[in-house]
Amino acid sequence: MSNSRDPYALARLVGAGRHYWASPAGQSLWRAERACLGPVCERLVGRHSLELGMAPVLSDICSIRHALAWSPNREMADHDSTLVCPPDALPLPDDSLSLVVVHHLLEVIAEPHHMLQEAARVTADTGRLIIFGWNPLSAGGLSRLWPGRRRRMPWRGHWRSPARLGDWLAFVDFEIERVDYCGFHLPCRLPRNSVLETLGRRHNLPLGDSYMIHARRRAQLAQSQPSRFAPARPLAGPAMGSARRVGPQPERNRKGD
């Protein structure tokens, strides 16, 4: 496990992660996750987004104008629009981003609760928080049982279910709208089978290597305070029965006039 406050350990972690995502297995899964994110991006509009992860950016297919990437140091930054900072201390204002993507980082950093709290903090009320995680019940999850696997990418760290992350999200006043699974393949094969991927995504089977959580901020119901000057009884119906008209009264027509 890496300490997110130790820049050297964090850089080594990200370097190992980038090595995996550049491999054939990582590239195959990356393409499957990008296809899974596509429909979400079609419905999103906004000015700023941020993606926290070790793989090449997925969210650049979105129409959001200013897309930020993340890096643990300047040497590993790929372009000018890269945020260089610890992932659990984002130098951004509250509610400033229309989209935040957390891509397979919660499993491996030392303080995932703090990172999720920061990601939720900078997500706008009308924005979306997208979390990619490793599915413990997938073929890849079962392969972690092999000796030595958990010391290498991508099998290292703590793999958590969407239900578990749902509890974490509730703590930061977010809720899960939907969970999508992607990266379907046979054991010991790469996720390149388009038929399996199509069937798995069509029926959203919880067997893919990874899942994508769509989360949004919980709606806060405003509680109206009763006015201290409100009448004790409603001014309608029976309450108006004893009311008298005040002021000059119209003179009634007398007989013979």
| pLDDT confidence band for 231 (50 / 70 / 90) | very low
Q: Is there a contact between 206 and 178 (Cβ–Cβ < 8 Å)?
A: no
- Is residue 1 included in any domain, yes or no? no
Does residue 10 form part of some domain? no
Q: Has residue 11 been placed in a domain? A: no
Q: Which residues contact 180 (CB under 8 A, 6 or more apart)?
A: 36, 201, 204, 211, 212, 214
> Rounded to whole angstroms, how far apart are CA atoms 246 and 173?
55
Dump pLDDT digits (tens) for 182-197.
998 877 677 667 788 8
Q: In this structure, is residue 65 part of a structural domain? A: yes
Confidence (pLDDT) at 220: 63
Quick check: is 168 in a domain?
Answer: yes
Predicted confidence band of residue 243 (pLDDT cuts 50, 70, 90): very low
Identify whether 256 is part of a domain: no
pLDDT recorded at residue 3: 54
Query: Quick check: pTM over 0.85?
Result: no
| Domain span including residue 46 | 25-75+95-217
Instruction: Average the pLDDT over each of 124-128, 146-150, 202-206 and give the range with the smallest value.
Output: 146-150
**In this structure, is residue 83 part of a structural domain?**
no
- pLDDT tens, position by position, 47-91: 899 999 999 999 888 888 899 999 999 999 988 889 999 999 999
pLDDT given at position 34? 94
Flag whether 244 is in a domain: no
| Domain count for the chain | 1
- Residue 101: CATH number of its domain: 3.40.50.150
Q: pLDDT tier at 144 (50, 70, 90 boundaries)?
A: confident
